[in-house]
Structure 1
Amino acid sequence: MFKNKKNYAAEPFKLSDNANKETEKEVGFKDLNLSKPLMQVIADAGYENPTPVQAKAIPAVLSGSDLLAGAQTGTGKTAAFTLPILHLLSEKPAAVFRSGRPRCLVLAPTRELAAQVEESVKTYGKYLPIKSTAVFGGMSIVPQIKALRRNVDILVATPGRLLDHVGQKTVDLSGVEIFVLDEADRMLDMGFIVDIKKIIALLPKQRQNLLFSATFSEKIKTLSATVLHNPVFAEGAKHNAASELIDQSVHLVSQRLKSHLLSHLIRHHKWKQVLIFTRTKNGANRLADKLAADGISASAIHGNKSQPARTKALAQFKDGSVTALVATDVASRGIDIDRLPHVVNFELPNMAEDYVHRIGRTGRAGSSGKAISLVDKEELRYLKEIERFIKREIPKVLFDSFVPPANLPAAEPHNSLSKRQGGRKVYGERASVSSSAAGRNYQPRYGYAKKQNNSKGNNAKSKVR
């Protein structure tokens, strides 16, 4: 199956001659030579044409080549490897079954992504006699051991839990024919390189290797040189590109007013489903509690939550019983929801690439979406880095109709968020930003003001400009 594979551990990083060839014409799934059961699943789903990364990756995997794929979330990367792997394994069934000895190993950085990949394997392989299971932390290891004792062709795992099973001798990796590193850049960011090296050392020398990464840092190139042999290169969207179907905007608002504005946006626009990103786990908990107190059904998902709690929160968000899901970047990996309409950056990420990952949860599969970022003056440096990275200026929006609640908590002294100016109480600071809509510089205030109208004896509320 694998065309005279050799020991390639010392091979230098390089791409094959056909690495950067673009697909010259639009291809359909019917042109990719997938088996009839897989084509039936594709037809059931209503798909006709593969995404760019699928069109390049599927033929490469079917040919037995190693693959280096540049693909962000939302580009169809999971199907880009699950479909051809299912084809290859079903075309050549295992001669002998051994307990806990998978033929394909997929490594994923988080529990959610591992669960999502294994769900995709089951979905695409429903007409095939291919068995799969997923193992990851946060759950009892006992049911996983029982599942591994049955016939498992495809094993999806997080690195730590996989090594736990190896230590207990419930997994034997000596029969792996295809090895997949999914979201390899994220795994390196999370410090899994030592675990990955341990796992690679347990794999047979002759195998097919597929590496998927949204970015190509020096670390990824080094890892690729260790894992891949003369790989075919397949690229989806550029690593700094956001879908043109995503309507991006920035709302300029002081930190202490963000939760009030967010509640207003959800209620005023009657949003039914919104994924919200925070930087910290505690911040996710606090925001979910605040939204719930405002009458908006909300859950938080992050690394400190148990796996059952995370699974339940995600299921409720998908079925619509929870309106707002508040997540950290790591916990959000693997959240794959068709036609997700709204993504909100409650706080901007420190890394510009993470912004693209976040908003890529919407605007998928030809559906439009909105990505809104709530930006305080302290985050302007992150905003500038993001705009430089995506090579575009994000429109800035101010809400005329929003008025903060009367019982707004006192400002924190170091933020200088409250001051008296000319008979008005102003929340926020001035900051010079660029308006892409107007094509000129303007100086909005962060937040909103309550203006006294003494002539009529009533309070008239207006927004500071």
Structure 2
Amino acid sequence: MPFSRLPAPIVEALTERGYAAPTAVQAAVLQEEADGRDLIVSAQTGSGKTVAFGMAMAPQLFSEDGRMDRPAFPLSLVIAPTRELALQVARELQWLYGKAHARIVSCVGGMDAMRERRALAQGAHIVVGTPGRLRDHLERGALDLSALKVAVLDEADEMLDMGFREDLEQILDATPATRRTLLFSATMPKPIVALARRYQKDAFTISTLGAERGHGDISYQAVTVAPSDIENAVVNLLRFHEPDTAMLFCATREAVRHLHNNLVERGFAAVALSGEHSQSERNHALQALRDRRARVCVATDVAARGIDLPSLSLVIHVELPRDAEALQHRSGRTGRAGKKGTAVLVVPYPRRRRTEGLLRDARVSVEWTTPPTVAQIAEADRDRLLKTLAEPVELDDEDRALGERLLAEKGAEEIAAMLIRAHRAKLPAAEELIEGGPAAARAARPEGPRPGFEDTSWFRMNIGRRQNADPRWLLPLLCRRGHITKSEIGAIRISNEETAFEIPKVAAAKFMAAFKRTASADPEGELQILPMAGPPDGPPRGAPRGAPRGGANDGPPRGRFAARPTQGGPRGRR
């Protein structure tokens, strides 16, 4: 039997779980050369590594007669970078050690610390936690590691990237020198090598990574789009694939909030995960995904660490990952445990060259293509509908009675058409995209003034790039002081010392009168707006109206305008 070297309770749990053979990383930690030694294991996410280190530490937790005695202090410690990953690891170890009646305590930020301390006081075989919370319990005397036999560092590279080095060192320094240290990391940068050299002895190295860094069970696609079509491309990708669960990655919490709101408005069952959500909100979101009440999760990189959703089959990189490692970790949310998955990068035309370099660094083979069209989505919908209707279903008497009643009133073809229409009505609409590449995207931009701006008046204000001028907070300022709407503001041109903007001539007098009436909002008179004889010379030097201008200088004005809360908006948090 492939698991014959494991204690009987572990073998029984694996058999009940349907494990017929170990994965590559599980087989590697069970070989004789790894017995009782420190381990450095390089393995991808989704390769079965949680069960692997659960198997590897079993000999230190069971007595010679195959039992687990009630411990006074923890025998094994598993450290993970995020709450979600730590809780997932605890769930995996619960069933793996369930037949042995092991006591497993989780210690993670955002949970009740008092309850965790009470659980630790009652004794635990295995403690699973995040570095910050474990260090807190250690400093308060609630966590005693003097009897520890095995320490596991899961996703050690990510913990160092997140700044947990000092926490890890303090925790490991509190453990006996005789412990085993199992270090699991998808990559082996220099800080990981240094950590291993300090805390491990004669470590046995295991690598289950192939020559390709990308997951073998993940197919990669890169779709090229006009920058203005990114969100529409995401909608069409979701509609074309219709995955059981999809995860969409954005770079900032603001982008997560914006995309999530827009998807919900379009009819998608979506949840959001970012740093601004509480642990309770995150738990509700994840439970909605597991219950299939939601099918789309919009998340930032850190918020999605450690999330394991068995039904996740599609990952969309809405905003490009920062490097090859981020691409690997993001995409690794799918294609897990032998299942197939798809990872799609949405690539604006100007960023194709950068993306090609990113993919070379990641050694990922990718199919370059265009987003699904409305016609392709309609064809996929037809195929899915026919397949769904062809599946056998159990009908009760009430179903048959209602079917007979419908047939008595309408023809079979009409009933079938009504069924199809009802099915389609539940689906979000696909989007028409700009076709033909960058040239077509440029050609699709409207020439000349937009409707309502054929005859405009120009104004200038004494705020420019030196005061951190940005359309995102200038627009609300002009609307508030001038009693106009965003739709009444045309082009905005930002220079170093001032900003020019246009509004329709029919609204110009009303705007200036309102600006003077609201002068009390700026009692020192620092903000000045004056009419201009015509548009400023040269092309616009600021962002188009309403368009975000990412960068280090985003936010409200600085200097003499910084103290005026009516003249700015909140700084965007990354």
User: TM-score interval w.r.t. the shorter chain?
Assistant: 0.7 to 0.9
* Distance in structure 1 (CA, Å) of the matches to 2:71 and 2:240: 58
CA contact (8 A) 2:224 2:346 kept: yes
Residues 399-451 of structure 1: per-residue CA shift (max 9 Å, x gap) = 4624986999xxxxxx98963589xxxxxxxxxxxxxxxxxxxxxxxxxxxxx
Deviation at 1:391?
2.9
Aligned to 1:30: 3
Query: Residue 343 of structure 1: SS of its match in structure 2?
Result: strand
1:258 alignment partner, one of 202, 209, 230:
230
Structure richer in helix, relative to its length: 2
Q: AA paired with 1:30?
A: F
- Determine the structure 1 residue equivalent to 2:82: 110
SS in 2 for 1:209: strand
CA distance 1:228–1:257, change in 2 (3 Å): same
Q: Partners of 1:333 and 1:195 in 2: how far apart?
A: 19
User: Which residue among 278, 282, 306 is the counterpart of 2:278?
Assistant: 306
Deviation at 1:239, TM superposition (A): 8.0
Give yes or no for contact 2:153–2:183 (8 Å, CA) kept in 1. Answer: yes
Distance 1:332 1:80 in 2: 22
Match of 1:375 in 2: 347
Distance in 1 of aligned mates of 2:369 and 2:433:
25
Change (3 A) 1:220 1:417: farther
What is the aligned-residue RMSD (CA, Å)? 2.6
Kept in 1: contact 2:151–2:181 (CA 8 A): yes
Matched, 1:135 2:107: yes
Paired amino acid for 2:305: R
CA distance in 1, matches of 2:32, 2:357: 35
Q: Give SS of 2:57's match.
A: helix
Partner of 1:161: 133
Q: Is 1:42–2:14 an aligned residue pair?
A: yes
CA contact (8 A) 2:78 2:127 kept: yes
Determine if contact 2:223/2:345 at 8 Å carries over to the other structure: yes
Answer yes or no: is the 8 Å Cα contact 1:278–1:326 preserved in 2.
Answer: yes
Change (3 A) 1:346 1:297: same
Residue 53 of structure 1 and its aligned partner are, at CA, apart by: 1.2
Alignment of 1:391-406 (within 5 A): 391-399=363-371, 401-402=373-374
**Paired residue total:** 386
Quote how far apart the aligned CAs of 1:329 are.
Answer: 1.5
Cα 1:95–1:118 change in 2 (3 A) is: closer
How high is the sequence identity, in percent, across the aligned residues?
33
Question: Structure 2 vs 1, CA of residues 96 and 355 (structure 1 numbering), >3 Å: closer, same or farther?
Answer: closer
Q: Do structure 1's residue 176 and structure 2's residue 202 form an aligned pair?
A: no
Distance in 2 (CA, whole Å) between partners of 1:327 and 1:61 is: 41
Secondary structure of 2:339's aligned partner: coil
Aligned partner letter, 1:374 = V
Higher relative contact order (CA 8 A, sep 6+): 1
Mark the runs of 5 or more structure 2 residues left unpaired by the alignment.
Answer: 376-429, 435-440, 449-574
Whether the 8 Å CA contact 1:352–1:382 is kept in 2: the answer is no
Indicate if the aligned counterparts of 1:349 and 1:382 stay in contact, CA closer than 8 A.
no
Alignment match, 1:293: 265
Native 8 Å contact 1:249 1:371 kept in 2: yes
Q: TM-score, normalised by structure 1?
A: 0.77
Amino acid at match of 2:445: K
Structure 1 Cα separation of the partners of residues 262 and 156 of structure 2: 35
Task: Kindly report which structure 2 residues correspond to 1:299-378, keeping only aligned pairs within 5 A, or say none.
Answer: 299-378=271-350
Q: Please name the residue that 2:160 is paired with.
A: 188
- C-alpha separation in 2, matches of 1:141 and 1:106: 18
Return the offset for 1:317: 0.9
In structure 1, the residue matched to 2:413 is: none
1:153 is displaced (CA, Å) by 0.8
TM-score, normalised to structure 2, is: 0.63
The change in CA–CA distance for 1:269 and 1:185 in structure 2 (over 3 A counts) is closer
State the one-letter code of the partner of 2:321: P
Closer/same/farther in 2, CA of residues 416 and 334 from structure 1, 3 Å limit: same
Aligned match of 2:177: 205
| Displacement of 1:323 | 0.8
Whole-angstrom distance in 1 between the partners of 2:36 and 2:352: 47
Report the more deviating stretch, 399-408 or 207-216: 399-408
- Aligned equivalents of 2:245, 2:120: Cα separation in 1: 36
Residue by residue, what CA displacement relative to the aligned partner does 1:141-185 show, whole Å, maximum 9, x if unpaired? Answer: 122122212221100111111111122211111111101111110
Deviates more, 1:264-273 or 1:168-177: 264-273
Work out which of the residue numbers 53, 56, 77 in structure 1 matches 2:25: 53
Encode CA deviations 1:104-142: one digit per residue, 9 max, x unaligned.
Answer: 111111111110111111011111121101111122212
Question: What's the CA shift for 1:358?
Answer: 1.6
Distance 1:90 1:383, change over 3 A: same
Superposed CA offset, 1:210-252 (max 9, x none): 0011111111111110111111111122485223332211111
Distance in 1 (CA, whole Å) between partners of 2:22 and 2:329 is 21
Instruction: Answer yes or no: is the 8 Å Cα contact 2:236–2:372 preserved in 1.
Output: no
Residues 103 and 154 in structure 1, CA contact (< 8 A), matched pair in contact too: yes
